[in-house]
Amino acid sequence: MVKEVKLEIIWSPTAIKELKDAYLYLRKESKSSAKKVRDSIIKQIEKLSIYPAIFELDRLKDNNPGNYRAFEKYNYRIAYKYTETELYILRIRHASREPLEH
């Protein structure tokens, strides 16, 4: 039986601010929708701590060594990288915004 290894999740200050800003923006329209989006993104990130390679390579990462990945949830693009022990949440940006290459 293969033992699941859970990576430590490390949020960049940028990702924390972006998720908070998204929540506050959405909350203006609907508190329940804002909570649903925030909680869903966090839940998906928690799954990534066990299965970090489930999403495709981050196409915006120059010279991607294979551990930079990204996914979209509720029109938010979440960029992350992982090592053998850690999962770094790098950015959370609305998909309609101009992408930042890194």
Q: What is the DSSP string of 2-31?
A: PPP-PPEEEE-HHHHHHHHHHHHHHHTT-H
In 3D space, the residue among 95, 5, 93 whose CA is nearest the CA of residue 48 turns out to be: 5
- Token duo for residue 72: 């979209």
The answer, yes or no, to whether residue 96 has pLDDT greater than 90, is no
Whether residue 1 is contained in a domain is answered as no
Whether residue 99 is contained in a domain is answered as no
Residue 9 burial by Cβ neighbours in a 10 Å radius (0-12, 13-18, 19+):
middle
Whether residue 69 is contained in a domain is answered as yes
pLDDT in tens, 50-73: 999 999 999 989 999 999 999 999
**Residue, of 43 and 5, whose pLDDT is higher:** 43
What was the pLDDT predicted at 2?
Answer: 58
Whether residue 47 is contained in a domain is answered as yes
Q: State which residues form the domain around 37.
A: 8-94
pTM of the entire structure? 0.88
Whether residue 101 is contained in a domain is answered as no
What was the pLDDT predicted at 3?
Answer: 64
